[in-house]
Amino acid sequence: MKVLLIEDDELLGKSLQRGFDEQGFDCVWCARGMDAIEELNQGSFDALVLDLMLEDMNGLNVLTELRQRGSSVPVLVLTALGSVEERVRGLNSGADDYLVKPFAFAELVARLHAVVRRTALPQKAATELIAGPLTLDITTRCARRDGCEIELTTTEYKLLEFLIRNSEQPVTRRMLCEHLWDANWEGVTNVIEVHINRLRAKIDRGFRQQLIQTVRGIGYAYRTK
């Protein structure tokens, strides 16, 4: 995956680039908005990680410029401004996701994977999601594993659907929280774990292959391999 990182903070930029490299990404790092626009002129990228406060311009300008050219490259915005207006403004300008500093690197990688996947696979109007041994019926909101019908509550269904749509990639607890309840709850209490456990009890209990796996320090992943 080729990522363009636009971040003017020396320390953060350096560590992010190293992190991306170690993840096996091909990362180009620009500290200035002008350089980033030049990079975008020269090559194509799979994703952009964009800091909103750059030395030479507002990161939103880069984003607007990009969208005006008709590019649909997924953009993940980094911002130190936590206020609601800023977030809304970023998303309205065409960002696919945002992260407020300080954030965990694992969070950034998981979200990057999610936005790339979301934009790469246009949502087909399928009525079923098939992921390994499990089939998820979108209309009836029922799951089926090896021929057994599994009834799901609304929360469980939304949880499973999100995991399957990001299958093989870890998703963080925060991403799940945001997806399920539009919540960015940072409280100490781990609110997602019980729902995951309940879902596991329904779809994984009694099977040798565990589809929902815990990824230490990050969250959970739906894996069929």
List interacting residues with other proteins (CB under 8 A): 82-85, 88, 100, 102-104, 153-155, 177, 180-195, 197-198, 217
Element (H, E) at 6: strand 2-6
- Cα distance between residue 35 and residue 18, in whole Å: 20
Burial of 111 (0-12, 13-18, 19+ CB in 10 A): buried
Kindly tell me which of 119 and 214 has the beta carbon lying closer to other proteins. Answer: 214
CB 8 within 8 A of CB 53: yes
Least CB distance from residue 217 to other proteins, whole Å? Answer: 8
Element (H, E) at 147: none
Least CB distance from residue 86 to other proteins, whole Å? Answer: 10
CB 13 within 8 A of CB 5: yes
Would strands 142-145 and 134-137 be described as parallel, antiparallel, or unpaired?
antiparallel
Kindly tell me which of 153 and 210 has the beta carbon lying closer to other proteins. Answer: 153
Kindly tell me which of 62 and 152 has the beta carbon lying closer to other proteins. Answer: 152
Least CB distance from residue 103 to other proteins, whole Å? Answer: 8
Kindly tell me which of 118 and 173 has the beta carbon lying closer to other proteins. Answer: 173
Least CB distance from residue 161 to other proteins, whole Å? Answer: 14
Least CB distance from residue 122 to other proteins, whole Å? Answer: 25
- Cα distance between residue 143 and residue 160, in whole Å: 9
Kindly tell me which of 39 and 103 has the beta carbon lying closer to other proteins. Answer: 103
- Cα distance between residue 114 and residue 106, in whole Å: 12
